[in-house]
Every structure is written in structure tokens, then in C-alpha cells.
Structure 1
């Protein structure tokens, strides 16, 4: 942009910690890209859920991180006042504390020179909640936001938000930050035939059972590696090794070392489709051979069979892994790497946001290639 950069006040779960915070990579990629394009971002995050005690990064030079106490509404309200006068105010979903308060209070900042946006990093969950509870207070707030952005979901999510009165809903998909996710040397402690990074969440566990653990049970001689929080009391086949939370600094090695890595969508994400997780782009950015569970829209991001392998169930994962030779795995990973660098970096997404806010976006249907 040739014009002066925006002052952006962003309220999210955490920029500095990925601990129980799957949106961290998304936030970091977008904020870093916006900074690189001349914008100033103040990221407001609560001290909650042990995230500050499990930081992955120090306060970065490309954002002003403002941490406020996770208890006491007055602290959150002070942050709202601190954001007054920003050009763009973003309320992300899933902050974790004070969500309802922030969703309501931040709208008071709207004015001729301030736009307030709701940025949904888990639109399927939000929309399911609104569908199931006619008394949900957020229903009345949706039409008040200047814009609703989502990190996925495609046309089904757009249609759903518009039914709830959104002025406009636009997906800004996950992407690759090539400055943080890239090919590295394999590490012995991550050696496996198939690796999976996934926290244990209620609407993901059944799919992890099916696509990962059932595949492991079918391939007794293969080695399976599971990283993520919450699996300590989970019964697993003997050829599965759980290694706990994997810090983002180790994600590249985790993705580069196994023969292949697996992406398992949460139930709601798979149901809506068009919701590639951050893990998809992290793996592609490391030139890993990715196997993903099937969901509508995958071909808009990576070409099946050439840039990604797609599996309908655990049996298919096992069959693909058993047939996969190292040279083929390398070819798939390298093709995916080239694709995301060319079309799916966070700089592409930041450019899309600029165009959207300036009225220059082409408003292409969500089903077209991202």
C-alpha cells in the first residue's frame, strides 16, 4: 500500500504462545505480514490457561504485545479503551476469557475512522453454537460488525453468517509463513513412518482414533509419532509414541523427519469443508509429504495425488502409508512446497485483507481456487 499503514488493535487468544492455542501460527503469520506491509499491530491477549508460562516466542519486533490479567472484567475494559482511535479493531473468536464482554464492548469503538471486525478462527463452532441457541447474545451483535472474517469454511460459512445478518463475510484462509516454517534437517527423535500434531479436543478425538490410531493398529511394523497436549491417559497401539506438547520451534523438524505427516480435521471443520488447518501449510512449507483426511475444497489449496494424499478413513491412511516409497514422498512434499510459496503465503493473505478493506477485492466465489 502506498498510503500510511493502519493502526490495528487485535484482540486474540495469544500471539506469543501456542500452548492450547491452535490459532497462534495463523495470528503470527498474518500479523508479521501486515507489519511487513507497513501496518502497526497492537495484539491484546489475556494471561490465561498457562499460555504466558508456556511461551514459544518473546515479544516480537513486528507487533506490540499487550498482556492483561485474565481475571476481572475491569482489566479487559481498560484494554477496550486503550484500543480507541485505532483504524481497525479486530475481535477474534476464542480469546478464552471475556469473549462476550469484548464482543459487545469493542463495538462501541466503531466510528467514521474506525472499523470493527469480528475474525472467527473457528467459524463452524461459532455457527453451530448460534444455530443451537436462539438466545445467544452474539446473534444480535453479528449485524453490528463492519465485517466478519473467517479463517476457513468457504461458501457454507459465508451463507450461514449472512443468514445471521452479517454485512459481509469473507474467508481469509490459513497460509504459510516462510520465515518460520521451512525445510530443515531431520532429527532422530522425530523418526517415524507417520507423524501427527494434534491437541486432544472433543470434536477431534474420534477422527484421530479413526485416521491415526486405527491406521497404526493395521500397520504393526510401522512407527507412529503423536505430538500434542492431552493424550497422557489415552490407550494407544504399542507402535504409537506420544511425545507431549511440541513447541513451534520444533515443528519444522517434526514435519521434515517422518516419511509422511497426517492432518486430521476437527468434526465441524470437515463438515463445512474449505477449512485447511494451519498444520496443512506448516507441513507443506517444510516440504513434508502430507496425508490429509478428506474434506471438500482440498483441491483449491493442494492438488490431490500430486501435492497431497487424501484419505477417506484410517484404512486408506494405512494403505497409502504402506505403499508410499521415500522418493514419491519427497516428490509430493516438494510439489506442495512450491504450490504454497507461489499462492498461499501470509503475504498473499495480508494483501487480500488490504484489498478487501479498500474495496479493491474481486469478491470471487469461495469455491474458486484460493
Structure 2
């Protein structure tokens, strides 16, 4: 998570919205249509990315059974006794597995009231980047006696890899560059998967208290699967917070920092947070699409014909390593 500077309005209550503010886009024509259909869908995505940085995406081609499978296993894992969850606990030198909420914390705007299970794609060790081997080259950690958890997670990771590569092509077309512009950046992507569990906020919690504080995401984009319990809130360009309720069968897509940098600020990496006040447990599954670790992200030269670059080049491995370094200081300080 990119915890960029927050402002006073980040504690404001969120307003209910119509879907017109977070548009619902059908991705099916992009997956199966002709060139004109692909351009039309890409234009819809680009418009949403310019206006708010969030949109719903239906017709994505990921089987509902795959989505239901990972939610079922997330529920099963977080329903286990804490002692059983602890057997799969993430550590600073092996950043995979369960990350609990702090045992005790005051209720404030910085409260962290959620648990997560973190996974990454497993690729062969990269001998050209041994500096970050502990971050990227470790295997995933799996809970004891839950083979279905491992299978559902691997199925979902595989589905997300295929889907995210298609979505990248839509982002490229929406920016007006070659459709395959990002293909070479995602051969062995450093993408991550998180299963998040949010208990209900206490009834006496002040309006400023969130399960997850306001933040932007590190990578190019995030694919979020939600169930029926809401809580996600998004900040518009005018500073107003709005609710982003679940839409059955659709993913919620948000632009991250790296896509904003690639687009030279045309696409917006926007603040979002979670406040679960629905009276029920909430689960979500975000997939953080990140490029290959050796990729250097900078404004695309094709977009700089009449503009100066607004962002400096950033190497993916170094950028993500700064985020992971928080583990060595506080294992709970992981907000995505």
C-alpha cells in the first residue's frame, strides 16, 4: 500500500452513490469482439480511469466457481482458532501467510482492524536480483491440514494472471498506445494476492475510525473481488468520499500508482479505505497486479510529445522492497 499524505477530509463519512459514479463496464466484448469492440471497451475504461480511477468490470471471463472457491476457503481459514491460524503466520524473512491485526490498539483514524492472508506468484529464483530474493523468491506458505485452501488459491492466482494480462491490453488501448505495450512487462510479474477479513467496527467507533486507512495502491492496478457485505469507500477528485458497494459477478478495478506514472498522470490512482459498518463479517480478495521486478516504470515516451514527464523512473523491485521493509519494523503495518 502506498500511504501517501492524507488530508483532514479523509475522515469524512462516505455518501451512497448510483452506479453512474462508479461505472459498470462489460468486458465480454473486449474478450470476444472485433477490433472496434475492443477499442470501445478500452475507451470506457480510460474514461473511468481519468474521472475517478475506479470502475466495476463484468463479463471478465473468470468463472464464478473460482471466485466462490477462494471466498469459501478464506471464510474457512479465518474461522479457525487463532492457534491454528498462527501456524501459517507471515514473518519478516518469509512474507507469505497470515497477518493478524494488532492484539490491542486504540480506536483512531490509524486503527488497523482486519486480518489478511498474503500470497504471491511463485517464479524461479532470479540470479540477476539476489538483493530482493527474500521478498520475491520465497515459496508461498500454506495452512496446516487445508489442501483445499491451497488449491483454491492457486486456481485463483492462475485465473488472475490470465485476466490481468487481458486487462493490461485494454489499459494500453485506452491510453492510445499499442495494445501489446505492456506485454513485455508482465512475463513473471511480482503480483500478489490477499484474502482480507474485516470484522464489524465497534458500534461506539467514531466516524474517523476505519478497518483500513485511506491509501493508494503501489502497482498498476488492483482487481478486487467483493462478496455481499459492503465497506469499500472511494475518494472522488473533488475530495468527497463515496461508497463502492459490491456488484454480484463484477470485479472492482482501481488504478494504482504505477499506472498513474505510466500514463503521466492521465489515469488517477485514487484514495480508498474500508469501513465495515454492515453488521456482518466482511471478506474481500484483492489481486495486486505488479510488473516484473526488473521493469522500470516511467511515463511512456509515446505520451510525452507535448508534455514533460511528471514522475521519475522507478524500478519495480526497489519500489516494492520499500513497502515490504515495513515488516522489519512492525509486522502489523501492512495495509493493502
TM-score with structure 1 setting the length = 0.24
TM-score with structure 2 setting the length = 0.26
Q: Compare relative contact order (CA 8 Å, sep 6+) and give the higher one, 1 or 2.
A: 2
- Larger of the two Rg values belongs to structure: 1
Q: Select the structure that is richer in helix.
A: 1
